Structure 1
């Protein structure tokens, strides 16, 4: 099959911008082997510069890292902007770019990345309509030019697409070009009724005061433009408003895997909830810290054992000041066979939810360097509110009966679910020594 070489038209340097502000460059050194990110001198000199990532800053907010060199992958902050799992596979299949060649993948989807980051060829050349990396050369393959080509990136492993929402709650997924202001998560071939599950957990979270974006359920038949191979899934899809987009602008965000300077495959285990909480309290303040505790307790109660580092993010509404983003990816994972029942990150030294009680909450407060009453008051309020919401609304949620029974059985055994009860009140009055106090 005849191929047209475009090796001489692919970029060797990508320009990184935050909106219209040039931030730096990513340059390929030695072919496709090494990638160097370097900040722009004018960006560093600007005292009012927008924030790219807390991972590049010291405790006083000044740049401590001005260059990063990585092999094959792009540096961690940018690697986390690329999709994982099924969407990554879909992108690789449609473009022909190997999954490990992240420089080219970033070029391909750089105009519609999460947050306000834009990545484009330094010389202004657009990415090719379709490409295939073979024998060390980038080339076009004629018989694949008509295939739909994604130009957007959404982080995470679940199959999801950017979408637009139209009058009558009609959703449409663009077959080509940029994504929309909404995210549509399609039914999962592996986890049954996953959109219904997420919708239910988000409803419960909203009921107890957790900050969530607008969301809903829609049958796949009501969604236009579902790519071939997914359109035959006759079930509910979950849709959610993007909090990094407004009708007229983009808002910068980053997740805690980016903040800790780690690659996507390090989102489990290497850091802890203690580390997240300590940073939130130190940088974001009391209100966001209490919201963090609220979401963490909620996740333990419903059995959301997938709250890894990429499921916690900050948003920069003014371009510079981080605040905790609205909640997302709230799912009860314990209802699925074969899913790990342990916490994905360590909580005050344990990953066993059955060990999380009042004493451990006090220890957690100490490890995050926050007042214990911030943790105890918020956790107790969350438990009470959740029990009320669960009792009143669980039967009306699109959850299977056996799933509701599993969560109810969990609440009956979790020590943290007893917060605010007479037993825990008496224990506090007795002044029993607490672990880690």
Structure 2
């Protein structure tokens, strides 16, 4: 049985696992430096299963251990943690065990249920708990990257069903994305956009809209004042029996901190990485997904909203299913692309010359990229106007999405011109 520690400072070392395989250790050194080093047995494998492409050397195998970082975790691990509102809620939930703004403390508290197959556990078997732990109720110990209020949840199997948070060592099978007080109908918006992605042949997680009243035992720290539907998504980094499937987002791939998710790379960099690490076909699928974001007005597809997934033995990456696919234009009418495409971010500037520039920078065949643009726009227009899920989207939100699709269709169809 795990021991308990009376204070977060007591834990100085965290073991890093991919499922049951130890891959390395994070040590907190004097002066609040955090150093990660690979386990020698894992290094001897050449880095298989893959923890992150950012750790892979161009010549094969693993790079040297990254340099210690002052006051922060190395980027790969920093990107496993929640941001902004969700981070503040989790820090409040673990007050006494996690000092505000301290990445190491937070990772130690949440490391048992991180995105993908990574687990980060105290090296000596201790568990982060506050000093008055005897009075404490069980804690939620999951981490989901991003800023939106979203929870890792599980379905109750007993009488009455319902949804609840996994506590302590429990593990969620679903992500619940709660409505926003600032953006009306955001759950319905994303639900419809994911349905559109599925309709045009993209890989999309299972999804449904549920009521807030379906949830039980949500701690006050995670409650939102907003009313409306909750979007429930099946976690694609968890298998049917709860097995962990490794994933990494492209902030991790490029080794940049979450604060640089809008500027750490351009779309052609992501496409080139997918082309090299996965396949040319996957790179063109990535192009199709960018086009969907452009035509529907999704200005938030930054580096953390694209991921690779490592199924089976974890040695071969593939594009992860689509996620965070919603239209931002209804809420931010002047919004633009999260990353640069062919040197531009403005939606209306993304005519054929920008896509040709993108193709050349990504080293993808120009005709194939232009064809992917035209075919995706055709698929959107074939399905969007009759999509059953349109009916759940608030009228004003739907009106603005529709107007953007109509504006962008001829601009993107310039790619069909010879």
Does the 8 Å CA contact 1:181/1:241 hold for their aligned counterparts? Answer: yes
Confirm whether residue 209 of structure 1 aligns to residue 209 of structure 2.
no
Cα distance between partner residues in 2 of 1:15 and 1:50: 16
Cα distance between partner residues in 1 of 2:384 and 2:19: 42
Confirm whether residue 153 of structure 1 aligns to residue 139 of structure 2.
no
Aligned to 1:135: none
SS of match in other structure, 1:15: strand
Aligned to 1:27: 27
Post-superposition shift, 1:17? 0.9
How far does the alpha carbon of each residue in 1:283-329 deviate from its partner, in whole angstroms, 9 at most, with x for none? 11122112111110000111100000000000010311111000000
Post-superposition shift, 1:413? 2.4
Confirm whether residue 336 of structure 1 aligns to residue 335 of structure 2.
no
Does the 8 Å CA contact 1:305/1:342 hold for their aligned counterparts? Answer: yes
Confirm whether residue 56 of structure 1 aligns to residue 55 of structure 2.
yes
**Which of the numbers 391, 400, 407 marks the counterpart of 1:413?**
407
Does the 8 Å CA contact 1:24/1:40 hold for their aligned counterparts? Answer: yes
Aligned to 2:352: 358
Cα distance between partner residues in 2 of 1:218 and 1:160: 14
**Which of the numbers 217, 220, 230 marks the counterpart of 1:225?**
217
Does the 8 Å CA contact 2:188/2:229 hold for their aligned counterparts? Answer: yes
How far does the alpha carbon of each residue in 1:258-287 deviate from its partner, in whole angstroms, 9 at most, with x for none? 011011111012310010011111111122
Confirm whether residue 242 of structure 1 aligns to residue 235 of structure 2.
yes
Aligned to 1:37: 36
SS of match in other structure, 2:99: coil
Aligned to 1:319: 314
Comparing 62-71 and 364-373, the one that deviates more: 62-71
SS of match in other structure, 1:211: coil
Aligned to 1:117: 118
Cα distance between partner residues in 1 of 2:181 and 2:338: 23
Cα distance between partner residues in 2 of 1:358 and 1:169: 51
Post-superposition shift, 1:98? 2.6
Aligned to 2:165: 173
Q: Tell me the TM-score normalised to structure 1 length.
A: 0.87
How far does the alpha carbon of each residue in 1:312-347 deviate from its partner, in whole angstroms, 9 at most, with x for none? 00001031111100000011111114x751111100
Cα distance between partner residues in 1 of 2:8 and 2:338: 45
Cα distance between partner residues in 2 of 1:87 and 1:8: 20
Post-superposition shift, 1:93? 0.6
What does residue range 245-260 of structure 1 map to in structure 2 within 5 Å? 245-246=238-239, 247-260=241-254
Larger Rg: 1
Aligned to 1:401: 395
Post-superposition shift, 1:175? 4.9
Does the 8 Å CA contact 1:173/1:225 hold for their aligned counterparts? Answer: yes
Does the 8 Å CA contact 1:19/1:116 hold for their aligned counterparts? Answer: yes
Cα distance between partner residues in 2 of 1:280 and 1:360: 20
Q: Residues 234 and 363 from structure 1, CA distance in 2 versus in 1: closer, same or farther, beyond 3 angstroms?
A: closer
Cα distance between partner residues in 2 of 1:239 and 1:365: 35
SS of match in other structure, 1:38: strand
Cα distance between partner residues in 2 of 1:359 and 1:171: 49
Cα distance between partner residues in 2 of 1:115 and 1:72: 25
Q: Specify every segment of 5 or more residues in structure 2 that has no aligned partner in the other structure, as ranges.
A: none
Q: Residues 424 and 249 from structure 1, CA distance in 2 versus in 1: closer, same or farther, beyond 3 angstroms?
A: closer
Q: Specify every segment of 5 or more residues in structure 1 that has no aligned partner in the other structure, as ranges.
A: 132-139, 429-437
Post-superposition shift, 1:415? 6.0
Post-superposition shift, 1:240? 0.5
Q: Residues 231 and 424 from structure 1, CA distance in 2 versus in 1: closer, same or farther, beyond 3 angstroms?
A: closer
Confirm whether residue 163 of structure 1 aligns to residue 162 of structure 2.
no
Does the 8 Å CA contact 2:261/2:303 hold for their aligned counterparts? Answer: yes
**What is the aligned residue count?**
408
Q: Residues 169 and 241 from structure 1, CA distance in 2 versus in 1: closer, same or farther, beyond 3 angstroms?
A: farther
Cα distance between partner residues in 2 of 1:368 and 1:343: 17
Aligned to 1:391: 385
Q: Residues 358 and 416 from structure 1, CA distance in 2 versus in 1: closer, same or farther, beyond 3 angstroms?
A: farther
Aligned to 1:295: 289
Aligned to 1:376: 370
How far does the alpha carbon of each residue in 1:350-407 deviate from its partner, in whole angstroms, 9 at most, with x for none? 1111111122212211110011122112111110010111221278431122222212
